[in-house]
Chain A
Amino acid sequence: MTDSTPDFVQDSAESSERDSHPPRMQHALLASVFIIASCGLAYELVAAALASYLLGDSITQFSTVIGAYLFAMGIGSWLSRYVEGNLVRRFVQIELAVGVFGGFTAVALFLAFAAQMGPFRGLLYLAVLVVGVLVGLEIPLVMRILKREVTFRDLVSQVLAVDYLGALAVSLLFPLLLAPYLGLMRTGLLFGLLNVGVAVYALFLFRAQLTHSGVLRLFAGACFLLLAGGLAVAGKVSDMAESWLYADEVIHMESSPYQRIVITRWRDDVRLFLNQNLQFSSKDEYRYHEALVHPGLAALPEARRVLVLGGGDGFAVREILRYPRIQSLVLVDLDPAMTRLFSTAPLLTRLNDHALKDARVTIVNDDAARWLEEHADVFDFVVADFPDPANFALGKLYSTSFYRLLARHLAPDGRIAVQSTSPYYARRSFWTIVATLEAVGLKTAPYHALVPSFGEWGYVLAGREAPVMPAAYPEGLRFLTVAGTQDLFHFPADMARLPAKPNRLNEQGLVRLFEQEWQGVSH
């Protein structure tokens, strides 16, 4: 784009006009600098916060995004020397570009992440570089425009002071108001609109000096509409993007105080995700839950009272209720949203055979350890179906202290079945859980089963007496057979026992181990 109109705003004509601009225009331009600076910082914070949100490790994300952005601004500043022609026209063009690119960065990146298009980090830094270069062009241009009416000393002090002031304003507003109340997408779009506003204001301010600006005006209007439209539908975009994170159609989404519950369906495959982690696929959950319940319970002909910890989906309960001898079952699950959903939603109650509505079942929504501490009930069979020990709070549920507490609720010849992560992907973690149960004086029988959605999965049976193999299983099982059970208790060489230290609360070695082992497993 070349500009052939040689009017006085060009650098060559600057000095002759020094005193003809009223201070009003100078103030208006400084106000623009304030907004420009705010926008510049806002895009940077939005990009860094989005990267932290999506990729985690906020220190790295903030540090690298801010670094790349500052570097790009440096490139922009340097490139500004090549910007020639009608500077106001250039300024307006750059403002529009910054508004649109900067404004839509968060939306585009979020959609790209959700749709898993290309390498996300590459796109992230590309966007940061583009916006950074454009933002870097702004201040040098403004200074050149203002140079005509302000002495250099005042110019530098005023422009930079206002620049920093704008940055301060946003750095305060962003964490306190913008990010919490508007969200990242809307914040980005809002600042995009501000940039376009600056462009429109400049068009108005310099209307006398900008000839043939019809196309530019039209363009500014389009940018404004685009960003305003984006602002209006940002909420929908966010929901849509989240649904893309799941391969299948999302049929239920809910946030409880404890977790984000998402249920998806593709044909007859229903899946549950908690905080985006797959909990089950209806295609093969029977394998997981049959293996969790029956090797232990089928070998306890006297079992009457059962406790299930975790497992609010009711699948373990469904398996347990196959035994007519069970008289009472207490299900302790933290999240009432989970047990309500799996007690009432028709699609889900069909999957768990209305297990949670069975008269023998008592549902308790409480923290498992608190419930165990505050009750004295004793059980013949206990299922501990907690999420994997991925943090210190969860790790406590796989500790010697917790198993001691649990053992106090176990009848003399009772058994505990513990879901124990994957002995294949997290071999040391698995054997640590075994060692932990043994450290509190329980005898163990570790075993494993293949659940296609998860991979090779591990369990541990524990009791005061060594667990024995069941002689028969109830009718209707789809996975377990008496003849095949022995194989589950055999560990091939690549999952064989490793020496492991029990997980004690003063060290919580399991949590660190688990993190190491699952790191890098793209599962």
Chain B
Amino acid sequence: MRRRDFLAGCGAAACGMALPGCAAQTPGLPPGELSGSDFILGHRLIHGSFPPPDEIIPVPVLIVGAGIAGLSAAWRFCREGFTDFALLELEREAGGNARSGENAISRYPLAGAHYLPLPNREARAVRAMLADLGALHGDPSAETPEYDERYLCHAPQERLYRLGAWQEGLLPRLGVPKAELEQQGRFFARMESYRAARDRQGRRVFTLPVAYGGDASEWAALDRLTLRDWLLAEGFDAPSLHWYANYVCRDDYGTDYRQISAWAGVHYFACRTGQGLDAGDAVLTAPEGNGWLVHGLRDKIAAAGEKLLRTNQAVYALSQDRRGCQADVWDAAQNRSLRYRAEQVIWAAPLFLLPHLARDLPAELAATLATIEYAPWMVANLSLQAPPAHGAGYPLAWDNVLQDSPSLGYVVATHQKIRLTPGPTVLTYYHPLSETAPAAARKTLLRNTRKIWAERILADLSHAHRDIRALTTRLDVFRNAHAMARPLPGFRDSVRQGRLAAGWERVRFAHADVSGLSLVEEANYWGVLAAEELLAARHGGTLRERLV
């Protein structure tokens, strides 16, 4: 270490350090709360006992879980005019990972999901849903439909904190050697060729939803190694590229690129072809993240029938026989148990719950479900009295990422506002616990107090924003121990895939867990597919409209 290195670093590094002598001036921790998917109830569902049901409710179709998948299924029913169903949600609010919160400053993403890339043309159900919600104008099947500019993410969209300054975009470029930049170019050209890849019948291979993909057997080798191993095997060794690849895997799937299936990694880069009129390949977002989808679908469902969506309903036992299904439900709001008798069940909740609740689940199915691993996440919302100081380089964007950080950075809830005065805002900070094995990470997640998380978050952000602690007026931490399925090598195995898609007789599986990619497009696909299959069966096999 020469003086030169030290000096070059000090302009930036000094800003991030705190003087021991100044500790007395450090403001205390901002208030906030620790919340998360209902752990106590969750554990009780698995281990605990509930009073016997005191009421039996017959319903033709029961949908369990009101995340994007369950909401999509219910929306599809309502679109068809079919309202003989009940949609049950364990939590107080519908939405799952797309749930949002609101305070005096802004709405904000609560559980994490915060954007939807412009859907591919093949994602007809997603586009129809966006049209119903007023976010897509005109023909949903157009090559480049017109999207409502309220939801198109404003510029500047992304920036990366690197070498003490902010650069535009998330792919490291600032100070990256020319050879690495060339390698980056080569990598993206390669991904472009995967985007164009077609099977013998001319169908694209990497599509979204995945189910529309053509025969992928030629590409099956990708699912046998990790993304990192694939990169190295293909001669991609640029550190900047490896950082970026790892970032996107953690961002989309909460999984380190040393563990994720290379097929999932390539799919991320190659699957998207969605474009909008005058919008390029933007993303759709709102202050509440994907909460606007939840609110829109919830309102559509409420308009079709008053009590179709029922929250605080925890299914603790599920069984079926030749006559139908039976779901025992704990109503946390009324402190009593109910029994739903349904002809059909759409299971739109995470699949790992099933073996715990369905005692007569076939062992082979339970074994297949046990192969799904889940990524734990921590999401924090920081209320700020003003946005953090500008810093060197590119200005505050919607998505702001720190390269040397265990987190994924933060998004700015007020970004979509047209304001000259920055004013107070809410930052949503993301941290998938992908550094350690999920079980160990889950323990850490549950053990750490809010204080520990808050100190870590503020220390992390202070590398780029030394004023962050003084600006933060509230810091809420949200924990999700089973946030999403991890697409590990082998997740595309056709036998496994087929088994998950087949479901359990009268219980259809409709969750992104089925395809193993936790994306709005996947959740929507499985939800709408289940709904359309049931509708078709009721209408003697025909449907006016097929969206999937």
Within the complex, what minimum Cβ distance (angstroms) separates B422 from chain A? 8
From B3, B22, B278, B419, give the contact of A367 (CB < 8 A): B419
Within the complex, what minimum Cβ distance (angstroms) separates A332 from chain B? 11
**Are B11 and A48 closer than 8 Å at their CB atoms?**
yes
**Are B393 and A59 closer than 8 Å at their CB atoms?**
yes
Binds A, one of B122-130, B152-160, B438-446: B152-160
**Which residue of B is nearest A506, CB measured?**
B152
**Which residue of A is nearest B278, CB measured?**
A504
**Are A391 and B395 closer than 8 Å at their CB atoms?**
yes
**Are A505 and B149 closer than 8 Å at their CB atoms?**
yes
From A44, A334, A400, A402, give the contact of B7 (CB < 8 A): A44
Given A70-B7, A507-B280, CB of A401 within 8 Å of CB of B418:
yes
Contacts of B4 in A (CB 8 A): 70
Measured CA separation A501–B149 after assembly (Å): 15
Contacts of A63 in B (CB 8 A): 8
Measured CA separation A315–B150 after assembly (Å): 34
Flag whether A164 is at the interface (Cβ < 8 A).
yes
Binds B, one of A170-178, A475-483, A490-498: A170-178
**Are A504 and B149 closer than 8 Å at their CB atoms?**
yes
Flag whether A393 is at the interface (Cβ < 8 A).
yes
**Which residue of A is nearest B175, CB measured?**
A59
**Are B149 and A164 closer than 8 Å at their CB atoms?**
no
Given A58-B392, A334-B420, A401-B418, CB of A167 within 8 Å of CB of B152:
no
**Are A369 and B165 closer than 8 Å at their CB atoms?**
no
Given A393-B419, A506-B282, CB of A66 within 8 Å of CB of B149:
no
The residues in B between 407 and 421 inclusive whose CB is less than 8 angstroms from any CB of A are 417-421
Interface of chain B: mostly helix, strand, loop or mixed: loop
Measured CA separation A370–B417 after assembly (Å): 9
Flag whether B279 is at the interface (Cβ < 8 A).
yes
**Are B10 and A167 closer than 8 Å at their CB atoms?**
yes
Within the complex, what minimum Cβ distance (angstroms) separates A178 from chain B? 11
Measured CA separation A420–B332 after assembly (Å): 59
Flag whether B46 is at the interface (Cβ < 8 A).
no
Measured CA separation A41–B8 after assembly (Å): 11
Contacts of A367 in B (CB 8 A): 419-421, 423
**Are B420 and A394 closer than 8 Å at their CB atoms?**
yes
From B13, B157, B395, B420, give the contact of A397 (CB < 8 A): B420
Measured CA separation A48–B164 after assembly (Å): 15
The residue in B14, B22, B282, B423 that gathers the most chain A C-beta atoms within 10 A of its C-beta is: B14
**Are A175 and B421 closer than 8 Å at their CB atoms?**
no
**Are A59 and B392 closer than 8 Å at their CB atoms?**
yes
The residues in A between 355 and 413 inclusive whose CB is less than 8 angstroms from any CB of B are 367-370, 391-394, 396-397, 399-402, 405
Contacts of A244 in B (CB 8 A): none
Contacts of A9 in B (CB 8 A): none
Measured CA separation A165–B282 after assembly (Å): 49
Contacts of B154 in A (CB 8 A): 392, 396, 505-506, 508
**Are A392 and B419 closer than 8 Å at their CB atoms?**
no
Measured CA separation A41–B419 after assembly (Å): 40
Contacts of B466 in A (CB 8 A): 175
Within the complex, what minimum Cβ distance (angstroms) separates A477 from chain B? 31
Contacts of A189 in B (CB 8 A): none
**Which residue of B is nearest A52, CB measured?**
B392
Measured CA separation A178–B155 after assembly (Å): 36
Given A59-B165, A59-B393, A171-B10, CB of A393 within 8 Å of CB of B420:
yes
From B14, B152, B165, give the contact of A171 (CB < 8 A): B14
From B7, B153, B420, give the contact of A368 (CB < 8 A): B420
Measured CA separation A174–B14 after assembly (Å): 8
Flag whether A120 is at the interface (Cβ < 8 A).
no
Flag whether A502 is at the interface (Cβ < 8 A).
yes
Interface size on B, residues (CB 8 A): 37
Flag whether A152 is at the interface (Cβ < 8 A).
no
Contacts of B417 in A (CB 8 A): 369-370
Measured CA separation A44–B4 after assembly (Å): 12
Flag whether A45 is at the interface (Cβ < 8 A).
yes
**Which residue of B is nearest A400, CB measured?**
B149
Measured CA separation A502–B10 after assembly (Å): 43
Given A176-B22, A258-B421, A369-B419, CB of A45 within 8 Å of CB of B11:
yes
Contacts of B422 in A (CB 8 A): 393
**Are B7 and A167 closer than 8 Å at their CB atoms?**
yes
Contacts of B367 in A (CB 8 A): none
Flag whether A62 is at the interface (Cβ < 8 A).
yes
A137-176 vs B, Cβ < 8 Å mask (1 yes, 0 no): 0000000000000000000000000011001000111111
Contacts of A369 in B (CB 8 A): 417-420
**Are A392 and B156 closer than 8 Å at their CB atoms?**
yes
Flag whether B34 is at the interface (Cβ < 8 A).
no
Contacts of A405 in B (CB 8 A): 418
Contacts of A44 in B (CB 8 A): 7
**Are A392 and B7 closer than 8 Å at their CB atoms?**
no
**Are B10 and A401 closer than 8 Å at their CB atoms?**
no
Within the complex, what minimum Cβ distance (angstroms) separates A14 from chain B? 26
The residue in A164, A167, A507 that gathers the most chain B C-beta atoms within 10 A of its C-beta is: A507
Within the complex, what minimum Cβ distance (angstroms) separates A182 from chain B? 16
Measured CA separation A393–B155 after assembly (Å): 10
**Are A401 and B149 closer than 8 Å at their CB atoms?**
yes
From B15, B165, B279, B418, give the contact of A504 (CB < 8 A): B279
**Which residue of B is nearest A44, CB measured?**
B7
From A62, A167, A175, A392, give the contact of B395 (CB < 8 A): A392
Flag whether B57 is at the interface (Cβ < 8 A).
no
Flag whether B40 is at the interface (Cβ < 8 A).
no
Within the complex, what minimum Cβ distance (angstroms) separates B488 from chain A? 35
B16-50 vs A, Cβ < 8 Å mask (1 yes, 0 no): 01010010000000000000000000000000000
Contacts of A368 in B (CB 8 A): 420
**Are B10 and A507 closer than 8 Å at their CB atoms?**
no
**Are A175 and B149 closer than 8 Å at their CB atoms?**
no
**Which residue of A is nearest B20, CB measured?**
A172
Measured CA separation A393–B10 after assembly (Å): 31
The residue in A48, A334, A506, A511 that gathers the most chain B C-beta atoms within 10 A of its C-beta is: A506
The residues in B between 387 and 432 inclusive whose CB is less than 8 angstroms from any CB of A are 392-393, 395, 417-423
A237-265 vs B, Cβ < 8 Å mask (1 yes, 0 no): 00000000000000000000010000000
From B17, B19, B149, B418, give the contact of A506 (CB < 8 A): B149
The residue in B3, B15, B155, B279 that gathers the most chain A C-beta atoms within 10 A of its C-beta is: B155
**Are B3 and A164 closer than 8 Å at their CB atoms?**
yes
Contacts of B10 in A (CB 8 A): 41, 45, 167, 171
Within the complex, what minimum Cβ distance (angstroms) separates A129 from chain B? 16
Measured CA separation A393–B416 after assembly (Å): 11
**Are A167 and B6 closer than 8 Å at their CB atoms?**
yes
Contacts of A172 in B (CB 8 A): 14, 17, 19
Contacts of A175 in B (CB 8 A): 14-15, 466
Measured CA separation A504–B151 after assembly (Å): 12
**Are A66 and B11 closer than 8 Å at their CB atoms?**
yes
**Are B418 and A399 closer than 8 Å at their CB atoms?**
yes
Contacts of A397 in B (CB 8 A): 418, 420
Within the complex, what minimum Cβ distance (angstroms) separates B158 from chain A? 12
Measured CA separation A396–B6 after assembly (Å): 41
Measured CA separation A63–B4 after assembly (Å): 11
Given A59-B165, A66-B11, CB of A508 within 8 Å of CB of B421:
no
Contacts of A334 in B (CB 8 A): 420-421
Contacts of A176 in B (CB 8 A): 14, 19, 22
Known: A59-B392, A405-B418, A506-B157. 20 other contacts (CB 8 A): A41-B7, A45-B11, A58-B165, A58-B392, A66-B11, A70-B4, A163-B3, A164-B3, A164-B6, A167-B10, A175-B15, A176-B19, A176-B22, A391-B395, A393-B419, A393-B420, A502-B278, A505-B149, A508-B156, A511-B155
List 5 A-B residue pairs with CB atoms under 8 Å apart, sorted by A's residue number. Answer: A58-B165, A167-B7, A399-B418, A402-B418, A507-B155
Which 7 pairs, one residue from A and one from B, show the smallest C-beta to C-beta distance?
A369-B418, A171-B10, A508-B155, A506-B152, A505-B154, A171-B14, A396-B418
- A residues apposed to B, CB below 8 Å: 41, 44-45, 48, 58-59, 62-63, 66, 70, 163-164, 167, 171-176, 258, 334, 367-370, 391-394, 396-397, 399-402, 405, 501-502, 504-508, 511
